[in-house]
Amino acid sequence: MFKNNKINMALSLIIAIVLWLYVAGQVDPKTDKKITGIEIEFLNTDSLQNNGLDFASASEKQVSVTLEGKRSQLNRVDKDDIHVTADLTHCIRGENTVTLKAATSKKAEIEKISPSVITVKVEERVNNSKPVKVKFTGKRVKNREPGNVRTDPDNVNVYGAKSIVNKVDNIQVSVPRNSIKIDDTTVTAKAVPVDSSGKKVENVWLSTKNVAVTASMMETKEVDLDVKTTGTVSDGMQLEEIKLPEKVTIRGTQDTLADITGVQGEQIDISGLNKTTTIPIELSLPYGVELASESEDISARVVLKELASMSFDVQTAAIEKNGLEKGYTASITENAISITAKGTDDQMEGFSTDDIVCSVDLKNLKEGTHEVAVKVTTNDKIHSVAVTPEKVKVNISKE
């Protein structure tokens, strides 16, 4: 009886274990989970830099990883728990194939990295000095803004792969407007490499992480702007208009601005311009006065257009024949010539065939056929007159 009880207990335990495994498998089965958007960490860039090289780009910056494990365990895993790395130790200049590695701090196995291999581009490591530019942020105050801005340093060295360093236009530092007081105020701001559109450039190193910005809060004032122009535009073009701002905004202390009602711009020379052009306006400002931010990029827009043109045919019968000796007659073989006149809009207004005289010089020409240049004169002063053909055939015979 006792023996039978032991057998029954053993059987019950086995059955219980089997049932538990079955239930566990059904309730918390083994499964897989795909996580996307995992950033790749590039390792050992310092080994490249020691060889005068640097990381430039990669065919992929993010990958997806498939994990395998219990459902309850995978439900607690997100992309922050997964680390994907690319070791650049053995990369050389040019394109390199690098195999990715993945690891997770959670109880799960890495089943797949997609893609598992990427192409890494390595370039010559260079450094260039870039200017520091200050960007003031926050709410603007009417008729007031920071001025007399100085930075320390004025330039920052940018290190990295040649193609990336070349993208950096300037080092931007952002300073809240409300941190600037009337007297000189110095603020430490983070240095950020940006391109010409103001977008941050990644994967470069700076000679300093921070820049000291010193500025003071100034008054602003709108005043008249006077700019003179000189010169004549290129041959074949005419000046349509010069667009100039009538006002400009300046900044300074209240006392400095009090008596200023206008400023003078340096003379703009339009000599030789052959297309519509924007020319920056340089100002002569009193000591202690600066251009306000809204007027920093003031310019003149010189608008040009091609000369007005008019074409028409002239019958050769209307061409004057000058210098023909007595006892001879002359006839032109062509029926007509084409005239093209060019000038400014004012010069060409009302211009017609009545304003031109066409002639040929037959002086000292004897009997026979001759090629003679056509001369065109105008009653009005226009830019140019062209004739086609330039020469006509003239038959001269005795009467």
108 and 137, same domain (yes or no):
no
Q: Give the pLDDT mean for 209-219.
A: 97
Point out the least confidently predicted range of 90-99, 148-157, 351-360: 351-360
**SS3 state at 244:** coil
* Within-domain flag for 136: yes
Give the mean pLDDT of 386-399.
91
Q: Where are the alpha helices (DSSP H) in the chain?
A: 2-27, 45-49, 71-74, 162-165, 254-257, 345-348
Query: Does one domain contain both 319 and 336?
Result: yes
Instruction: Mark whether 331 and 280 lie in a shared domain.
Output: no
Same domain, 244 and 197: no
The domain that holds 40 is classified in CATH as: 2.170.120.30
pLDDT tier at 193 (50, 70, 90 boundaries)? very high
The three-state secondary structure class of 155 is strand
- Return the higher-pLDDT residue of 362 and 10: 362
296 with 331, same domain: the answer is no
Query: What would the pLDDT profile of 117-131 be if each residue is shown by its tens digit?
Result: 999 999 999 999 999
Domain of 141?
Answer: 131-218
pLDDT tens, position by position, 262-305:
999 999 999 999 999 999 999 989 999 999 999 999 999 999 99
* Number of Cβ within a 10 Å radius of residue 161: 22
- 144 in any annotated domain: yes
Rg (CA), the chain: 42
Average pLDDT over residues 48-61: 95
Question: Could you tell me how many residues make up the chain?
Answer: 399
Average pLDDT over residues 16-32: 61
Domain count, the chain: 4
Residue 24 has pLDDT above 50, yes or no: no
Query: Do residue 194 and residue 209 come from a single domain?
Result: yes
Give a yes or no: residue 4 inside a domain: no
If asked whether residues 302 and 314 sit together in one domain, one would say no
Would residue 39 count as lying in a domain?
yes
Distance between CA atoms of 279 and 240, rounded to whole angstroms?
16
* Residue 23 pLDDT grade (very low, low, confident, very high; cuts 50, 70, 90): very low
Query: DSSP secondary structure string, 257-316?
Result: HTT--EEEEPPEE-TT--S-EEEEPPEE--TT-EE-GGGTT-EEEEEEEEPEEEEEEEEG
Identify whether residues 150 and 75 lie together within a single domain.
Answer: no
